[in-house]
Structure 1
Amino acid sequence: MWTWACVCALSVLTACGDDEKPADDPNTAQGDKCEAGQEVCEVTQNITSGTTWTKDHTYVLKANVFVKDATLKIEAGTVIKGNYNTSLAITSSAKIDAQGTAAAPIVFTSVIDPGSRQAGNWGGLVLLGKAPINVQGGVDNIEGYPESVDTQYGGEDASHNCGTLKYTRIEFAGFRLGGNNELNGLTLGGCGSATVIDYVQVHRGLDDGVEMFGGTANLKHIVITLPDDDGLDWDQGWTGKAQFVVVQQNRLVGNHGIEADNSASSPNALPRSNPTLWNVTLVGSDLPKGNAAQTQGGAILRVGTAGSINNAIITYFNDFAFDVAGPESIAQANAGTLSVKNASFWSSKVAYDSSTFFVKSSSDGSDFSEWTKFGTEAEASNRVEDPKLTKALYKANTAPNFKPDAALVGGAPPADGFFDASATFRGAVGDVNWLDGWTAFPES
Structure 2
Amino acid sequence: DPSGDSLSEGNETVILTGTASGLTSGTATLTILDDDAAPTALTLSLMPNEVEEGTDATRINVTASLGSATPSQIEVSVAVTGGSATAGEDYAAVSPFTVTIQEGRTSGTETLPFDPAADGLAEGAETVVFTGSAAGLTAATATLTINDVEPAPAPLTLSLNSESVAENAGRKTLTMTAFLGSGPRASDTAVSVKVAGGSATAGEDYTAIEDFAIPIEKQQTSATAKFQFEPLDDALAEGEETVVFTGSAAGLAEGRATLRIVDNDRSTTREGGPPAVTIWTDQLTYRVDEEIRVYLDIDPKGDEREYTVFFYRGSIDTGERMYLAPRKRSMELWDEVVDQYGQTKDSRTARRLERMDAKLIWKGRVPHPGLWHFVAEVRSPGTTQVLHRAYAKFVVPRNGSRLLNRRGTKRFIETDLHLPNDWYYHLGDELHVSDGGTLTIDAGTVIRAWGPNAAIIVEQGGRIVVRGRREAPVVMTCSLPVGERRPGCWGGLVVRGTATAGSGAGAQTSVLPRGRFAPGSGGAAYPNGSSGEIRYLRVEFAGGGPLTGAPASAVVFEDVGVRTVIDHVQTHASAGDGFAFRGGTAHCSYCVSSDTRGNSVAWSMGWHGSMQHLYVQQGAQGASGMHGSSESEAVPGTMPTFYNATLVGGYNIGVLGGVPGSRRTIGPGISLEAGAGMYARNLLVTGFAGYALDGSAADFVAGSSSLANAVLTKSGWRHGGSSQVRGRFKPYVNYINWDADLLNVRHEPNPDPRPRSGSVALRLGNAAVPPFDSRFLRTAEHVGAFRKKNWLEEWTFFGPERAYEVPVD
List per-residue Cα deviations over 1:291-322 (Å, max 9, x = no partner).
433x5111011121121111010001122110
Q: Does the CA contact (< 8 Å) of 1:284 and 1:393 recur in 2?
A: no
Structure 1 residue 108, shift from structure 2 partner: 0.6
**1:439 matched to which residue of 2?**
796
Q: Give the structure 2 partner of residue 238 of structure 1.
A: 607
Aligned to 1:110: 478
- 2:775 is aligned with what amino acid? F
Contact 2:599 2:626 in 1 (8 A): yes
Equivalence for 1:26 = none
Read off the aligned partner of 1:202 and give its amino acid letter: T
User: CA separation in 1, counterparts of 2:507 and 2:429?
Assistant: 23
User: For residues 318 and 239 of structure 1, what CA distance do their matches in structure 2 show?
Assistant: 28
Matches of 2:744 and 2:662, distance apart in 1: 23
Q: Give the one of 299, 313, 334 matched to 2:670.
A: 299
Q: Please give the secondary structure, in 2, of the residue aligned with 1:334.
A: helix
1:276 corresponds to which residue? 641
Deviation at 1:282, TM superposition (A): 0.5
- The structural deviation recorded for 1:355 is 5.4
Larger radius of gyration: 2
Q: Return the match for 2:545 from 160, 164, 176.
A: 176
Q: Which has the higher contact order (CA 8 A, sep 6+)?
A: 1
Provide, for residues 183-216 of structure 1, a one-character-per-residue CA deviation record: whole Å limited to 9, x for no partner.
Answer: 3111111101111101011111111110001100
Residue in structure 1 matched with residue 691 of structure 2 by the alignment:
320
Map of 1:41 onto structure 2: 402
The CA RMSD over aligned residues, in Å, is 2.7
Output the CA distance in 1 between the equivalents of 2:731 and 2:550: 37
Indicate how the Cα distance of structure 1 residues 143 and 70 shifts in structure 2: closer, same or farther if over 3 A, else same.
Answer: same
Q: TM-score, normalised by structure 2?
A: 0.45
In the alignment, structure 1 residue 345 sits paired with structure 2 residue 712? yes
Equivalent position of 2:583 in the other structure? 214
Paired residues of 2:741 and 2:755 also in contact (CA < 8 A):
yes
In 2 relative to 1, CA 282–8 (structure 1 residues): closer, same or farther, beyond 3 Å?
Answer: closer
Q: Which residue of 1 aligns with 2:390?
A: none
> Is the 2:504–2:519 contact (alpha carbons within 8 Å) kept by the matching residues of 1?
no
Query: What's the counterpart of residue 204 of structure 1?
Result: 573
Mapped to 2, the partners of 1:273 and 1:75 lie a distance apart of 34
User: Could you tell me whether the CA contact under 8 Å between 2:457 and 2:493 is conserved in 1?
Assistant: yes
Amino acid aligned to 1:401: D
Question: C-alpha displacement at 1:411, in angstroms?
Answer: 1.2
Q: What letter matches 1:187 in structure 2?
A: V
Give the AA of the match of 1:359.
R
Whole-angstrom distance in 2 between the partners of 1:212 and 1:136: 13
1:15 corresponds to which residue?
Answer: none
Q: Is 1:309 the counterpart of 2:309 in the alignment?
A: no
- Preserved CA contact (<8 Å) 2:650 2:687: yes
Distance 1:181 1:117 in 2: 19
CA contact (8 A) 2:519 2:583 kept: no
Alignment of 1:36-435 (within 5 A): 37-44=398-405, 45-68=411-434, 69-85=436-452, 86-135=454-503, 143-149=510-516, 154-155=521-522, 156-177=525-546, 182-251=551-620, 253-261=621-629, 263-266=630-633, 269-287=634-652, 291-293=663-665, 295-325=666-696, 330-347=697-714, 350=717, 356-360=723-727, 369-374=728-733, 379=734, 382-389=735-742, 391-394=744-747, 397-406=748-757, 407=759, 408=761, 409=763, 410-435=767-792
Shift of 1:352: 8.8
> Match of 1:25?
none
The alpha-carbon deviation at position 119 of structure 1 amounts to 0.5
Q: What displacement does 1:337 show?
A: 1.5
Q: Shift of residue 48 of structure 1? A: 2.0
Is the 1:124–1:184 contact (alpha carbons within 8 Å) kept by the matching residues of 2?
yes
8 Å contact 1:141–1:153 — kept in the other structure? no
| Length, aligned pairs only | 388
* 1:133–1:154 CA contact under 8 A, matched in 2: no
Deviations 1:54-83 (A, max 9, x none): 011111102111111310110011111111
The verdict on how the C-alpha distance between 1:309 and 1:352 changes in structure 2, with shifts beyond 3 A counting, is farther
- Structure with greater strand percent: 2
> One-letter code of the match for 2:783?
R
CA distance in 2, matches of 1:115, 1:354: 36
State the distance in 2 between where 1:287 and 1:141 align.
Answer: 33
Residue by residue over 1:406-425, the C-alpha shift from the partner in whole angstroms, topping out at 9 and shown as x without a partner, is 35241110021110000000
8 Å Cα contact 2:503-2:519 kept in structure 1: no
Partner-residue secondary structure (3-state), 2:753: coil
Shift of 1:127: 0.5
Deviation at 1:46, TM superposition (A): 2.3
Is the CA contact (8 Å cut-off) linking 2:715 and 2:724 kept in structure 1? no
- Aligned residues: percent identity? 28
Aligned residues of 1:154 and 1:190 also touching (Cα < 8 A): no
Per the alignment, in what secondary structure is the counterpart of residue 279 of structure 1? strand
Residue 370 of structure 1, CA deviation: 1.5
Deviation, structure 1 residue 143: 2.5
* 8 Å CA contact retained: 2:501, 2:607: yes
Contact 1:39 1:57 survives alignment (8 Å): yes
Is the 8 Å Cα contact of residues 651 and 689 (structure 2) preserved in structure 1?
A: yes
Query: Amino acid of the residue matched to residue 284 of structure 1?
Result: G
Offset at 1:235?
0.2
Would the alpha carbon gap of residues 153 and 87 (structure 1) be closer, same or farther in structure 2, given more than 3 Å must change?
farther
Where structure 1 has 5 or more consecutive residues not aligned to the other structure, the ranges are 1-6, 12-35, 361-368
The whole-number CA distance in structure 1 between the counterparts of 2:507 and 2:724 is 38
Are residues 179 and 390 of structure 1, via their aligned partners in 2, closer, same or farther at CA, if it must alter by over 3 Å?
farther
Change (3 A) 1:130 1:141: farther
Q: Residue 8 of structure 1: CA displacement? A: 7.6
Q: Secondary structure at the match of 2:529?
A: coil
Q: Cα 1:39–1:136, aligned 2, differ >3 Å: closer, same or farther?
A: closer
Give the SS at the match of 1:256.
Answer: coil
User: SS of 1:332's equivalent?
Assistant: helix
CA shift digits 1:363-412 (9 cap, x unpaired): xxxxxx212322xxxx3xx2011001262132xx1121111113524111
Give the AA of the match of 1:286: Y
> Residue 150 and residue 411 in structure 1: after superposition, are their counterparts in 2 closer, same or farther (change >3 A)?
closer
Whole-Å Cα distance in 1 between the matches of residues 519 and 673 of structure 2? 25
* Aligned residue identity for 2:404: V
* Contact preservation (8 Å) 1:62, 1:83: yes
